[in-house]
Amino acid sequence: MGVPPMNTVAWASRPWIWDQGQDIRTTRIVTMPLQTTVVLGWILSALALTGSGDGGKLEHSQNLTAVPRYGVWEVTFQRANTYENPFFDVSIDVTLTAPSSQQVRIGGFHYRQDLWKARFAPSELGRWTYRFVFRDTEGRTAAGEGEFTCVKNQKPSPGFVRRHPENPYRFVFDDGTPYFPIGVQDCWGDNNRNGSVLDVCSMEGPFRTDLKDPPALPPGPMFVRGPSCNPQNADVYFRVFGQCGFNLYRYSQKNCSYELYRDLDHYLVAEGIMTDELLQCARRYGFRIFYGLFGYQPVFNKDPNNAEGLAKVKRFIKYSVDRWGAYVYFWEF
């Protein structure tokens, strides 16, 4: 999702680096910061899939025609889902060309049902073009192209988080602004089974009724004490934590959190969408995202010489980067 180097903080016991299209052992990860949204401008086109099988149509649309610098541009592909495993039976390659003619390659991912997506956060102002190739395991392909413009935002983003050029123990944004990460992590789950984790957040402090000397309440009816401190919605949760000085959020699956797959051959659809919404919400309140790839899952630890198993590990890492690389600043392996 760009070209800045990866950064690590104290939580990252073994950071892995990744750059799409390259070998995972030697490459770099890319991350993008938050920007505010722009009125959606939809572009639709329909293409015929060529090759073996019944052909069929592929439609693609982009969420924005004017994308804020470091904002998230998203292209959506729609095609009848006839696949045994739509996460693996389709591959999407997108090549973007910046105004400076630099090219960036990103991958797509299965979103839900008959939808696939690709995400990117541009760092150069001006006109971008893109070309994509949609392939499936039945030998069918479709190709297309489009463009969008990267524009200045009313509230400019400071850019990527990088290591300080003179002090490796400090972080700065692209514009030179210092970044002092103060992180928080919490438990997440869809406890009421409504397909979202944004309405079951845990809060303490002024929401509790059992404290003998509670802190003074913030203004507003939303902060009036009630019989229960939980649940709270994610807007309250991230706003309060942000006001307290937190600016880095760590999400780690199966680490007091839901899982993103049943096993490395079966990814979970609803949980992927819930993670999209969670990271998007945190970013709206100024949090940079720290993403733990596997949490407490053993993955390959007991069988490091299993080449097939390691290939599946790399496949999930690529899926995570393709899906959340435009949101994430720090990666933990």
What pLDDT, in 10s, does the model give residues 243-278? 989 999 999 998 999 999 999 999 999 999 999 999
130, 156, 182 — which closes off a domain?
156
Q: What is the mean pLDDT of the chain?
A: 82
Q: Which two tokens stand for residue 116?
A: 């696939």
pLDDT at residue 99, rounded to an integer: 98
Total domains in the chain come to 2
| Of 102, 110, 152, the residue nearest 129 (C-alpha) | 102
Specify whether 284 is located in the same domain as 319. Answer: yes
Specify whether 65 is located in the same domain as 85. Answer: yes
Specify whether 68 is located in the same domain as 195. Answer: no
156, 185, 219 — which closes off a domain?
156
pLDDT at residue 269, rounded to an integer: 98
Q: For 135-139, 297-301, 329-333, which range has the lowest pLDDT when averaged over its residues?
A: 297-301
Across the range 121-137, mean pLDDT stands at: 96
pLDDT band at 220 (very low <50, low <70, confident <90, very high): low
pLDDT top residue among 322 and 236 = 322
Q: For 12-21, 66-75, 272-281, which range has the lowest pLDDT when averaged over its residues?
A: 12-21
Specify whether 128 is located in the same domain as 199. Answer: no
Specify whether 145 is located in the same domain as 178. Answer: no
Whether residue 10 is predicted with pLDDT greater than 60 in this model: the reply is no
Element (H, E) at 314: helix 307-324
Residue ranges in 200-268 assigned as alpha helix (H): 234-243
Q: Which two tokens stand for residue 290?
A: 């720290």
Specify whether 171 is located in the same domain as 318. Answer: yes
Helices 269-284, 234-243: inter-axial angle, 10-degree rounding = 40
Whether residue 26 is predicted with pLDDT greater than 80 in this model: the reply is no
Range of the domain at 88: 35-156
Specify whether 192 is located in the same domain as 113. Answer: no
What percent of the chain shows pLDDT beyond 70?
77
| Of 331, 237, 320, 230, the residue nearest 275 (C-alpha) | 320
Whether residue 5 is predicted with pLDDT greater than 50 in this model: the reply is no
Report the alpha-carbon distance of residue 203 to residue 52 in Å, rounded.
Answer: 55
Specify whether 235 is located in the same domain as 323. Answer: yes
pLDDT band at 109 (very low <50, low <70, confident <90, very high): very high
Specify whether 39 is located in the same domain as 120. Answer: yes
Q: For 38-52, 88-102, 260-274, 314-328, which range has the lowest pLDDT when averaged over its residues?
A: 38-52
Collapsing DSSP to helix, strand or coil, 316 comes out as helix
Report the alpha-carbon distance of residue 64 to residue 150 in Å, rounded.
Answer: 10
pLDDT band at 28 (very low <50, low <70, confident <90, very high): very low
pLDDT at residue 40, rounded to an integer: 39
Q: Which two tokens stand for residue 267?
A: 């990814």
Q: By CB neighbour count within 10 A (0-12 exposed, 13-18 middle, 19+ buried), where does 46 fall?
A: exposed
156, 188, 220 — which closes off a domain?
156
Specify whether 109 is located in the same domain as 134. Answer: yes
CATH number for the domain harbouring residue 236 = 3.20.20
Specify whether 211 is located in the same domain as 332. Answer: yes
CB 298 within 8 A of CB 254: no
Specify whether 166 is located in the same domain as 48. Answer: no
Whether residue 38 is predicted with pLDDT greater than 80 in this model: the reply is no
Q: For 91-100, 173-182, 294-303, which range has the lowest pLDDT when averaged over its residues?
A: 294-303
pLDDT at residue 333, rounded to an integer: 84
CATH number for the domain harbouring residue 123 = 2.60.40.1930
Across the range 159-169, mean pLDDT stands at: 92
Q: For 21-25, 111-115, 129-133, which range has the lowest pLDDT when averaged over its residues?
A: 21-25
Rounded to two decimals, what is the model's pTM?
Answer: 0.80
pLDDT band at 146 (very low <50, low <70, confident <90, very high): very high
Report the alpha-carbon distance of residue 249 to residue 280 in Å, rounded.
Answer: 11
pLDDT band at 16 (very low <50, low <70, confident <90, very high): very low
pLDDT at residue 209, rounded to an integer: 62
